[in-house]
Amino acid sequence: MNNLRKPVIAGNWKMYKTRDEALQFIYTVNQEVPTRDLVETVICANDVLLRDLVKRQGENLKIGAQNMHYAENGAFTGETSPLVLETTGVDYVIIGHSERRAMFSETDETVNLKLHAAIKHELTPILCVGESLEIREAGTTNEWVKNQVVKAYNNLDAKQALETIVAYEPIWAIGTGKTATPEQAEETIKAIRDVLVTLYGDVVASKIRILYGGSVNTKNVESLLAKENIDGALVGGASLDAASYLTLVKAATQK
Ligand code: PGA
């Protein structure tokens, strides 16, 4: 294992799984998931399921939300408060997933406000950044992603930055079966680490985990995790099946 950065495998269930399916998954995975000393394992589920999952999580599996509002409370019908997530026992929250940026008007500014709110409420934010196919084809991926990172970390100090996890998720690779090659993923993730060096210096940047996400599966996970700067994965489709999820988690223990 890289001494500085413990690998993370975070499942993003999106809007899948009934309550019964979710509980069955947790029951199965709890028995087999490796110790948290080796890998951080997270499942990010639908809000309605979070309390039930937190109550049943074992020592080694932690629960995350997929989004939240930046305000603690207020007239925001249908939104989820970070305070409620914190008091529900949730440990992680995905911030700025590309589906939320594209379909639910998430902006770099709201992403930044949400990062601040997550840290205030002791939720580990998994900040998602990534480019569209047009941007990749135009050759401006790294500039695009750097800009997203700079805006997301606005006014976060080094101590707060250390509480964050980044997930590089090229939009064209999400749910499409088209994975970025390990080389493409490593190149952009290295560029993200370089931005963090600029913002916070070498020591802090070398401790922040940066994950890859986008059609990660049991076949490609090892080659992605073999790359120096790739510290784990944010996984949609392949996290829905307990056996597949456990295979990914076990692969990360070899990092
Ligand atoms: P995928 O989703 O693994 O199904 O491509 C990843 C994500 O959206 O986080």
Report whether residue 216 contacts ligand 1, using a CB cutoff of 6 Å. Answer: yes
Residue with tokens 């100090």: 157
In this prediction, residue 214 carries a pLDDT of 96
Domain that holds residue 72: 8-253
Residue 2 counted as domain residue: no
- Positions marked catalytic: 97, 169
Count up the domains in the chain and report the number.
1
Let me know if residue 1 belongs to a domain: no
The backbone torsions φ and ψ at residue 167, rounded to the nearest 5 degrees and listed phi first, read -125, 115
Q: Which single residue is written with the structure tokens 């999580």?
A: 57
CATH number of the structural domain spanning residue 106: 3.20.20.70
Answer whether residue 31 is part of any domain. yes
Q: Which residues of the chain have pLDDT under 70?
A: 1-3
Is 120 among the domain residues?
yes
CA 170, 176, 177, 178 dihedral sign is negative
Ligand 1 centre to CA of 122 (Å) is: 25
Cα dihedral 171/108/239/23 (nearest 10): -150
Considering the domain boundaries, does residue 88 fall inside one?
A: yes
pTM of the model: 0.97
Q: What is the pLDDT of residue 255?
A: 86
Query: Which residue minimizes the CA distance to atom 1 of ligand 1?
Result: 236
Q: How do strand 61-65 and strand 92-95 relate by DSSP bridges?
A: parallel
Residue 187 lies in a domain: yes
pLDDT of residue 169: 98
Question: For ligand 1, is residue 179 a contact (CB within 6 Å)?
Answer: no
pLDDT in tens, 86-144: 999 999 999 999 999 999 999 999 999 999 999 999 999 999 999 999 999 999 999 99
Question: Which ligand 1 atom is the nearest neighbour of the CA of 238?
Answer: 3
Tokens 């784990």, residue located: 232
In a domain, 3, yes or no: no
H or E segment and range at residue 232: strand 232-235
Q: Which atom of ligand 1 is nearest to the CA of 167?
A: 9
| pLDDT score, position 2 | 55
Give residue 3's pLDDT. Answer: 65
